[in-house]
Amino acid sequence: MGKILNRYKKIVGSEKIKEIEKRAKPLKGKYILHINATYYGGGVAEILDNLVVLMNDVGINACWSIIKGSEPFFEITKTFHNGTQGYPIKLTKEVKATYEELCRRNSVYINFCGADAVIAHDPQVLPLIKYARPDRKKEPWVWRIHTDITQPDPDLWNYLKTFIKNYNEMVVSDEKYLKDDIGLKQTIIMPSIDPLSKKNRDLSDKQARKILKDAGIDLKKPMICQISRYDRWKDQVGVVEAFKRIKKEVDCQLVLLGNYATDDPEGAAYYKKTKAKAKGLKDIKVIADKGASPLLVNALQKMSEVVIQKSLREGFGLTVSEALWKRTPVVAGNVGGIPSQIKHGENGFLVNSVKQCAEKTIELLKDDKLRKKMGKNGREYVRENFLITRHLLDYLELLNRIIK
């Protein structure tokens, strides 16, 4: 027990490790079943991958099942995902039928047997509780929603509530996502990054330079970057506009790195739009990398003078913590979970426009001392708040409370 956990000792200190071990003890041998929509792609799968292993490492029998989807189902749940974040959606009888029928079918595929608690992630798997086998032992079910649900589409939210009410608890990612129209205990568990993963582990300058060089990126000029999926809510076009302003004051380079799902025509179109916006400008790289190498992301975040995350909407925006962890100050949109990660003026800046984004980036580029200080603050802020060990501890507290 704790072989993997111990690797985090040098990062978070032995007190934290001891606390985790203490909280894990009463849960030894308990079966916890995580269920979500996919093993691959997306922040939720990335987090579960390591979290489930760590849970097992501390003695819990944490399992992870995914549902078998279908194209029409995933099209619907994509609109639901957007709908929870306020995008208007059309909720027809057919949509509901497809959504519920798929969950009904999956309720037989998934082995709920023996579970001491079930944690269902996001809207895709929400209706499962309605169909779970009648012979289950009334274990508590938790709905864990990862999106920004401050202003969901009202029809969608009313519909989802018909399933949510069957759960024992709901977990959200930020204080502002707590709902007052749900008669359910709610807990905040912020997401996290894994400091030992390829994307976040410490690289030497030499290693990072080599990775960038192999990707065709030199460091002759100071670098700023944004790493995120091509999507209008990530506002890469706004970043290019800000860069034009920045470039007038500081001679630097911009790298945009991200992917778009092959089945996402909007993403492909937005990538093209970004490319067009950058056309003819010097020192910009607009890269679409399907399986974006985690080591390249790591090196970019580490070697950039400033990391930008100019989102207009954001579920949580963990790329901010990723960059801060590498001691790089971040200039980011004041939306979603970003203000929980950036203390304005301490480890980065929250901005509301292209103009502000450019100004604050220029300020940082011109001030070595400020960058260094903010970078240091960022590292410590993430160490305290956004590492997988804190995430694990939050889950242990939740599980200790709900499992009798």
Q: Compute the distance between CA of residue 252 and CA of residue 67 in angstroms, rounded to an integer.
A: 46
| Binding of a copy of itself by 115 (CB under 8 A) | yes
| Binding of a copy of itself by 162 (CB under 8 A) | no
Candidates 28, 109, 269, 401: give the one binding a copy of itself (CB under 8 A).
109
Phi-psi region of 329 (alpha: psi -120 to 50; beta: other; left: phi over 0): beta
Q: Compute the distance between CA of residue 331 and CA of residue 328 in angstroms, rounded to an integer.
A: 10
Q: Tokens 């090196």 identify what position?
A: 299
Give the contact letters, 52-91, x = binds to a copy of itself (CB under 8 A), - = no: xx--x----xxxxxx-xx-x--------------------
Return the residues of window 163-202 that contact a copy of itself according to CB under 8 A.
Answer: none
Q: Which of 192, 190, 187 is closest to 401 using CA atoms?
A: 187
| Binding of a copy of itself by 39 (CB under 8 A) | yes
Q: Which amino acid is at 192?
A: S
Candidates 93, 291, 369, 404: give the one binding a copy of itself (CB under 8 A).
291
Q: Which of 395, 213, 200 is closest to 302 using CA atoms?
A: 200
Q: Compute the distance between CA of residue 322 and CA of residue 330 in angstroms, rounded to an integer.
A: 10
Q: Which stretch binds a copy of itself (CB under 8 A): 50-58, 72-80, 341-349, 383-391?
A: 50-58
Q: Which residues have a Cβ under 8 Å from the Cβ of 225 and sit 6 or more positions away?
A: 254, 255, 256, 257, 300, 301, 304, 307, 308
Specify the 3-state DSSP secondary structure of 395.
helix
Least distance (Å) between residue 314 CB and a copy of itself: 26
The first and second tokens of residue 183, run together, are 């008669």
| Binding of a copy of itself by 33 (CB under 8 A) | yes
Q: Which stretch binds a copy of itself (CB under 8 A): 46-54, 242-250, 281-289, 322-330?
A: 46-54
Bridge partners of 172, per DSSP, are 188
Candidates 108, 269, 276, 281: give the one binding a copy of itself (CB under 8 A).
108
Candidates 19, 49, 249, 264: give the one binding a copy of itself (CB under 8 A).
49
Q: How far apart are the first and last CA of the chain?
A: 22
**Residue 3, burial from CB neighbour count under 10 angstroms (0-12, 13-18, 19+):** exposed
Least distance (Å) between residue 62 CB and a copy of itself: 7
Give the contact letters, 342-371, x = binds to a copy of itself (CB under 8 A), - = no: ------------------------------
Least distance (Å) between residue 21 CB and a copy of itself: 18
Binding site for a copy of itself (CB under 8 A): 29, 31, 33, 39-40, 49, 52-53, 56, 61-66, 68-69, 71, 105, 108-115, 133, 135, 262, 291
